[in-house]
Every structure is written in C-alpha cells, then in structure tokens.
Amino acid sequence: MVFAVVVLGGGTVACGEGSASEGRAAVTPGAAVAEAARHAGDISSLRYRVTGVLPEKGRVEAEASMGTEPSVMGMRMTTTEQGAEHRLEIRFVGDAMYVGGSALASEKLDGKGWFSAEPAAWGRGSWDNNSYGVLPRQLEGNPAVQSTLLTGSKDLRETGTETVEGTRTTHYRGTVTRSGLGAARDAAADKETRLHRIESLDQFIGLYLADTLTMDLWVDDDHHTKRFRLRGDVRASRGVAEGERLDLTFTFLDVDRPVTVEAPPAEDTADLAAAADEAAAG
C-alpha cells in the first residue's frame, strides 16, 4: 500500500552423489555445496548484481552493496512493469530506510529528493524485514544466506564447469522444498550449522514459493559461491496471480571489501508515512 502511494504507476542434508570437476580432487556435490555454504556464512560484506523476473514487477535489474556490521544496504533497482520502466534507489542505514529515484511520485515529495521511513529492516528473517512494500519480498533477504538453500536438496547434481565473471566455477543444480530444508536443519551436526539452516529455511519462506524451488549454484575452486539462480512458482496472493513465476540470478561481484552506505541529508527527505496518510485521507 505504501509503495503504491509513492511510486508512479505502482501496483501493489541430504546430499547427492556425482563426479568431481576435471582437475580437482574427488568431492561429492553435497560436500561441495556444504563447503560453499560454510564460506557464505562468514561473509561480512558483499557487492552483488540481481537480474531476472519477479511476480507483479516483471523484469528486474539491480546492483547492491551490503554490510553486516553495522547492518547497511544500498541498492539501485530497475523494474519493468506493464511496459513502463521504474527506477529506484533504496538505502537501509541504522533503523531507517530511504527511497529515491525517478519512479517516485514527485508531487508527494514536497520538493525533496528522498522519502524516509522507520523503523525499517532488511536482510533478517522473513517475518522481521520491513521495507514498507518498496522492496519485493524476494529481494529482502540476505543473498549470502539465500545462496545456502541448496544444502537442503535431495537430488543435487553437478552439471559441468563454466566461467563466471572471469572465474572458473563448477555448476551444481537441485530442487529444494520446505520439508527438505527442514530435514537438513534437523540433521545438522552442530549448533552453528543448525542456526545457518534455520536462517535458510526462513529465507525460503520469504520467497513466497508455492512448493518447489529449482536452484543452480556456481562455486569456484576456492569453494566460494560466485553465482546462484532461484526459480519456482509463487503462491497466489493479493496482487499475484496463480502461475506467476520467480526467476532470479544473483552474481557475487566483491566479497568482504569495505562498504559505505550513507543516509541522505535530513533536509532532503520527506516522511513516507505522512505521504501515505495524506493519500489515504484524500
């Protein structure tokens, strides 16, 4: 509802077996994916790119940077909805969210360049995020956590080697269900692994998938994730018709490098809640 107010035209481990990559020590797909998930859990900052298709929003392209200590995120996002292009910049700094871009309804900005809203949260569990509807739910999760979802697959397999952003990688594919992730969580050998898999299960729920997720993971020779792709049917809900599909690819560009996301000047921000209340009253 809030998003519609401010944006022009806005609408509402079980492990498989398989061969090792040529030139590498023998390792099962399950072991390789588990090792990549372990490394993903250590990521403190990340710059990444997102491309694909979102329910309601159509084609999406975004580039973002995030840090965990302190928790910050900045994203430039373009969506194509009903043939119209919408450009937004979203920043999370402290407990506040800031939204700018050409897609904003300028008449509600009162001459300012940004909307602000708080409390706001991004990258947490699926029930703890709050982006006031500005970010699609499928982009509210931490991609480092989302990249570990494949640890819950029961049909994991290696499909070959490919080059991603100039780096040689091994490509893995499998399907994941909520029950599969639950079983992987329950089979965790230690508390830390169990906590990571609880996070993964929560991120799966946040994707609003109807049932099964098909996931591809590209892992380099140092066992780090370079890219992953998520595909699946999305549950029918308000504004989302039955049969709409999610298809997103995340590419990791820089890992554990300094990330700075700054809040816009206070004098250049308008209150998002006030704009929404004004629209509702009108």
Mind listing the pLDDT tens digit for each residue in 36-62?
Answer: 999 998 999 999 999 999 987 889 999
At residue 73, the 3 state secondary structure works out as: strand
Cβ-Cβ contacts under 8 Å for 41 (sequence gap 6 or more): 144, 148, 192, 196
CATH classification of the domain holding 7: 2.50.20.20
Instruction: Give the tokens for residue 11.
Output: 């609408």
pLDDT category of residue 265 using cuts at 50, 70 and 90: very high
Domain hosting residue 70, numbered range: 2-281
Condensed to tens digits (0 to 9), the pLDDT of residues 167-215 reads: 999 999 999 998 888 887 887 778 877 787 788 888 888 888 888 999 9
Read off the pTM: 0.87
pLDDT category of residue 5 using cuts at 50, 70 and 90: low
Q: State the total domains in the chain.
A: 1
Share of the chain above pLDDT 90, in %: 55
Continuous segment of H or E residues that includes residue 149: none
Q: What is the pLDDT of residue 117?
A: 94
DSSP conformation class of 219: E
Residue closest to 225 by CA, chosen among 149, 159, 174: 149
Q: What is the pLDDT of residue 13?
A: 36
Residue 83 has pLDDT above 90, yes or no: no
DSSP conformation class of 69: T
User: Are 266 and 73 in contact, with CB atoms under 8 Å apart?
Assistant: no
pLDDT category of residue 241 using cuts at 50, 70 and 90: low
